[in-house]
């Protein structure tokens, strides 16, 4: 499919963007069929991202008023990320969520968000950008691979493991 | 065997760097992937400055139980805080390592539990980490203690842009 030409800008999110980011993240949860797993409230999300000690940062993609979405939104994409660490490579960035509204895909917005994030990572002296992608999301996996990511799970068989809230409690109770 | 778990301080960086190299060798990470420049000084800067990138726990034995090479710091867990826009604050365990001669004595279990405790105390709802699937004994340990294998069960793929790819991405 040929890319559609569209004006857009990528910029760091401000507190005034929080409602839009929340809207986009919920759309992503619907797209990934996990909306039942969203337990965070909007108030918690706003506090965590734009309060005194932010736990994450975001970049937003914005279109001019004349290109707004059919519901009237101009913030049409988001990249939500935070800083992590790799004891083999040093400072790193983890891309937690990358989402572009369906009607704005194919315009280079996803690529723009990813590239801008890479620039941010470089400025902070990070040498690694990490993310997780679902196996069924072959389009996204191909997108990241095309941009130079390597699939550490497929290549080296690293698995992502998780202790959720219940098992985390149990584990903590066993601490000496 | 007596051992204790405590928060690492800046003087522990040499021991953490030492054990980190052992861990890389254990996981068959090629030597060129662990940069020579990455040493105790990098850990000092990144872990013990005003805005640290990570936290670290040390497992320590008394002098009379030191390792055959004379070390009393015999294990570590390195972690940092992450975030899920669906569940909130999380904790990520980057490394968990116990020197071979001290394994099988509950040190790894204790380190894992302490990381979980730190996570809960900070308001985290989950603990995430990656493990080599070939490391069957570790995978089994985690699954027995309530861990979920998101790669096997849900299809998570961990992907990474390393240095050259990251530079290329930043230029586009």
Q: How far apart are CA B15 and CA B97, in angstroms?
A: 12
Task: Enumerate the residues of chain A whose CB falls inside 8 A of the CB of residue B43.
Answer: 87
ipTM of the complex: 0.88
pLDDT tens by residue, B36-82: 444 667 788 889 888 899 999 999 999 999 999 999 999 999 999 99
* Chain A: closest CA distance from residue B123 (Å): 10
Q: How far apart are CA B32 and CA B82, in angstroms?
A: 28
- Band of the pLDDT at B25, cuts 50, 70, 90? confident
Measured between CB atoms, does A158 come within 8 Å of chain B?
Answer: yes
pLDDT at A175: 65
- Judge: B162–A150 Cβ closer than 8 Å, yes or no: yes
Q: How far apart are CA A53 and CA A46, in angstroms?
A: 11
Does position B35 have pLDDT exceeding 60, yes or no? Answer: no
- Judge: B166–A171 Cβ closer than 8 Å, yes or no: no
DSSP assigned state of A70: T
pTM, two decimals, is: 0.90
* Mean pLDDT, range B93-101, rounded to an integer: 94
- Judge: A148–B169 Cβ closer than 8 Å, yes or no: yes
pLDDT at A55: 94
Mutate to test the interface with A, among B37, B86, B126 (most CBs of A within 10 A): B86
pLDDT tens by residue, A13-64: 999 999 999 999 999 999 888 888 888 999 999 999 999 989 999 999 999 9
Mutate to test the interface with B, among A96, A116, A125, A168 (most CBs of B within 10 A): A168
* Chain A: closest CA distance from residue B69 (Å): 23
- Band of the pLDDT at B32, cuts 50, 70, 90? low
pLDDT at B37: 45
* Chain B: closest CA distance from residue A51 (Å): 14
Measured between CB atoms, does A63 come within 8 Å of chain B?
Answer: no
Percent of chain B with pLDDT over 70: 93
DSSP string of chain B? ---EEEE--GGGHHHHHHHHHHHHHHTT--GGGS-TT-SHHHHHHHHSSSS-S-EEEEEE--GGG--TTS-SEEEEEEEEEEEETTTEEEEEEEEEEE-GGGTTSSHHHHHHHHHHHHHHHTT-S-EEEEEETT-HHHHHHHHHTT-EEHHHHH-EEEEEE-HHHHHHHHH-
H or E element at residue A169: helix A165-173
Reported for A22-29, long-range contacts at CB under 8 A and 24+ positions apart, including other chains, are A22/A46, A23/A73, A24/A75, A24/A76, A24/A77, A24/A78, A24/A99, A24/A101, A25/A78, A25/A80, A25/A97, A25/A99, A25/B85, A25/B86, A27/A99, A27/A101, A28/A97, A28/A99, A29/B86
pLDDT tens by residue, A56-112: 999 999 999 999 999 999 999 999 999 999 888 889 999 999 999 999 999 999 999
- Band of the pLDDT at A1, cuts 50, 70, 90? very low
- Band of the pLDDT at B34, cuts 50, 70, 90? low
Which residue in A55, A162, A165 is closest to B83 by CB distance? A55
């Amino acid at each position: 499919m040929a890319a559609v030409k569209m004006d857009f800008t990528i910029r760091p999110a401000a507190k005034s963007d929080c409602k839009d980011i929340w809207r986009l993240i919920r759309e992503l949860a619907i797209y990934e069929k996990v909306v039942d797993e969203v337990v965070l409230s909007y108030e918690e999300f706003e506090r965590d991202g734009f309060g005194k000690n932010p736990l994450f940062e975001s970049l937003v993609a914005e279109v001019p008023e004349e290109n707004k979405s059919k519901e009237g939104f101009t913030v049409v994409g988001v990249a939500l990320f935070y800083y992590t660490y790799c004891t083999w490579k040093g400072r790193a960035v983890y891309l937690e969520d990358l989402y572009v509204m369906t009607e704005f895909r194919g315009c280079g917005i996803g690529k723009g968000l990813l590239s801008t994030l890479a620039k941010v990572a470089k400025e902070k002296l990070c040498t690694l950008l990490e993310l997780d992608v679902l196996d069924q999301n072959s389009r996204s996996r191909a997108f990241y691979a095309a941009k130079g990511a390597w699939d550490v799970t497929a290549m080296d068989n690293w698995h992502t493991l998780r202790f959720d809230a219940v098992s985390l409690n149990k584990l903590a109770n066993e601490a000496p | 065997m007596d051992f204790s778990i405590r928060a690492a301080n800046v003087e522990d960086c040499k021991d953490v760097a030492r054990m980190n190299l052992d861990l890389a060798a254990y996981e068959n990470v090629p030597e060129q992937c662990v940069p020579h420049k990455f040493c105790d000084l990098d850990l000092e800067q990144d872990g013990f400055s005003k805005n640290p990138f990570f936290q670290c726990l040390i497992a320590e034995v008394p002098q009379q139980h030191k390792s055959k090479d004379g070390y009393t710091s015999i294990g570590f867990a390195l972690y940092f805080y992450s975030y899920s826009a669906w569940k909130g604050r999380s904790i990520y365990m980057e490394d968990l390592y116990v020197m071979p001669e001290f394994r099988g004595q509950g040190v790894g279990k204790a380190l894992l539990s302490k990381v979980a405790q730190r996570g809960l105390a900070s308001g985290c709802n989950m603990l995430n980490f990656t493990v080599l699937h070939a490391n069957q004994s570790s995978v089994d340990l985690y699954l027995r203690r309530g861990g979920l294998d998101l790669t096997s069960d849900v299809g998570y793929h961990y992907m990474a842009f390393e240095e050259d790819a990251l530079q290329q991405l930043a230029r586009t």
